[in-house]
């Protein structure tokens, strides 16, 4: 009985063809050999060809790989996929910010946000997980349970979707609109480092999407044990979500601080591979009214970062339904920034972007889920219709 059942279940599962967009160069060559699409001798050459079509031209159809023999293209299509995930919703803000709700699989949706005039030309804010296991008290994503880690293909797909919409294929070397990538969407990238590192290898490759590692920033709430691996494997830029200058407060705002307190965090940043005045760490500091925004805290921040090549990014708090926090007054934020500037820190205030389409930091996903839910309610359909 049990055996019959097992067999029938095995028969019902169609093996999923892997999406080639998520394979690094060596993995791509190996996959072609494993699938019998290329001989071990020809695998590297085939991988170079396929790579260019996928990551330089952005093709989603094996049929367009015109320098690859027809039979080989057919074999590729039989074993692999190249399609994009579904874009469920696309919004453009008055300020030019674009947001896509992307469905990776049923129930696995992420939001990706493009912000023009940030970095060299424009930055794409991408997600590494659906939901988050950490519970930073000011973050809306933190109120959602982790659904799952994204795969490398799903991380790369966010860049591809943005490139499709910005009409940036073949991948331009100059005059590009998408010039920077920040892992500041949903999730804690250092809890999904394997996929994040593979995705960075793919995105940074010079014969493809070609976004330099120096223009890729990974933001973490402070998962210290992964810092060395992050630096060594990705050579990406580091951003730390600091938000407080003493452990008592940071314990509350970023509960991971109880495990990795500020002194240890600072030591880990100092030891981050490749940190220098030309490659500074960014410290993110969310401005919460009456919580962490006093002049004394600005001075404490200066003391804390004195010996570190650092930039500070002040983020006005973006409120969400149900939060007790409020954004600091503009004058308070400016006074805070002035203290940092006087001490020699570049400390731009991150102007909230895309608030009209709920694309600002900490407003991602659940907010639009709520809106969709209320839209469903207003059409008076049963919830699962
Ligand atoms: N998990 C990672 C990366 C994603 S969060 C991290 O915590 O660093 C990206 C940034 O947005 C973090 O600095 C986070 O603290 C900040 N953030 C989260 N919620 C916010 C909110 N409601 N308003 C402003 N910034 C917020
Ligand atoms: Fe997770 Fe970052 Fe939000 Fe904290 S701030 S809950 S680590 S996404």
The predicted-structure confidence for 217-248, as pLDDT tens digits, reads as follows 999 999 999 999 999 999 999 999 999 999 99
Cα(291) to centroid(ligand 1), Å: 16
CA distances from 366 to 110, 123, 320, 359 (A): 10, 22, 10, 11
The predicted-structure confidence for 330-366, as pLDDT tens digits, reads as follows 999 999 999 999 999 887 787 777 777 766 655 655 4
* Mutational test site, ligand 2, from 134, 137, 146, 251, max ligand atoms within 8 Å of CB: 134
What was the pLDDT predicted at 13? 52
* DSSP annotation of 239: E
The predicted-structure confidence for 141-167, as pLDDT tens digits, reads as follows 878 888 899 999 999 999 999 999 999
Cα(241) to centroid(ligand 1), Å: 7
Residue 119 to residue 237: CA distance in whole angstroms:
13
Provide the annotated active-site residues: 111, 361
Which residues' Cβ are closer than 6 Å to ligand 2? Answer: 132, 134-136, 139, 141-142, 187-188, 221, 241
Q: Where in the chain is the domain with CATH 1.10.150.530?
A: 20-79
Q: Helices marked H in 35-69 — which ranges? A: 43-51
Q: Are the beta carbons of 31 and 18 closer than 8 angstroms?
A: yes
In this structure, which ligand is nearest to the CA of 285?
1
Output the six-digit token pair for 57: 């031209």
Q: Atom of ligand 1 at shortest distance to CA of 316?
A: 24
The pTM of the full predicted model, rounded to 2 decimals, is 0.90
Strands 98-105 and 108-116: antiparallel
Q: Where in the chain is the domain with CATH 3.20.20.70?
A: 86-371
Smallest CA separation from ligand 1 atom 5, residue: 184
Q: Which CATH superfamily is domain 86-371 in?
A: Aldolase class I (3.20.20.70)
The CATH class, in words, for 20-79 is: mainly alpha
| pLDDT band, residue 7 (cuts 50/70/90) | very low
Q: Atom of ligand 2 at shortest distance to CA of 187?
A: 8
């Amino acid at each position: 009985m049990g055996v019959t059942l097992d067999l029938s279940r095995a028969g019902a599962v169609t093996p999923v063809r892997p999406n080639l967009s998520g394979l690094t160069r060596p993995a791509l060559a190996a996959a072609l050999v494993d699938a019998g699409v290329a001989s071990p001798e020809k695998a590297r050459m085939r991988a170079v060809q396929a790579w260019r079509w996928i990551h330089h031209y952005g093709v989603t159809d094996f049929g367009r790989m015109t320098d690859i023999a027809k039979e080989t293209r057919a074999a590729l299509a039989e074993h692999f996929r190249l399609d994009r995930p579904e874009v469920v919703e696309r919004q453009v803000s008055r300020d030019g910010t674009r947001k896509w709700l992307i469905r990776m699989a049923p129930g696995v949706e992420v939001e990706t946000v493009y912000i023009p005039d940030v970095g060299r030309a424009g930055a794409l804010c991408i997600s590494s997980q659906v939901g988050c296991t950490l519970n930073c008290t000011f973050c809306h994503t933190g109120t959602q349970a982790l659904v799952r880690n994204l795969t490398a293909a799903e991380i790369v797909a966010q860049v591809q979707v943005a490139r499709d919409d910005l009409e940036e294929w073949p991948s331009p070397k100059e005059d590009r609109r998408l010039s920077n990538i920040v892992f500041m969407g949903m999730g804690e990238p250092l809890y999904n480092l394997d996929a994040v590192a593979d995705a960075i290898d793919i995105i940074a490759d010079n014969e493809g999407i070609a976004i330099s590692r120096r223009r890729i920033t990974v933001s973490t709430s402070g998962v210290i044990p992964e810092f060395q691996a992050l630096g060594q494997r990705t050579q990406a830029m580091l951003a730390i979500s600091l938000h407080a200058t003493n452990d008592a407060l940071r314990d509350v705002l970023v509960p991971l601080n109880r495990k990795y307190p500020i002194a240890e965090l600072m030591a880990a940043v100092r030891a981050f591979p490749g940190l220098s005045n030309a490659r500074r760490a960014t410290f993110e500091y969310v401005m919460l009214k009456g919580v962490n925004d006093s002049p004394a805290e600005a001075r404490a921040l200066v003391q804390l970062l004195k010996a570190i090549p650092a930039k500070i990014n002040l983020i006005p708090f973006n409120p969400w339904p149900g939060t007790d926090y409020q954004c600091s007054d503009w004058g308070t934020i400016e006074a805070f920034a002035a203290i940092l500037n006087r001490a020699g820190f570049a400390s731009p205030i991150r102007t909230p972007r895309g608030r009209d389409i709920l694309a600002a930091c900490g407003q991602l996903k659940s907010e639009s889920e709520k809106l969709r839910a209320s839209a469903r309610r207003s059409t008076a359909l049963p919830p699962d219709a």
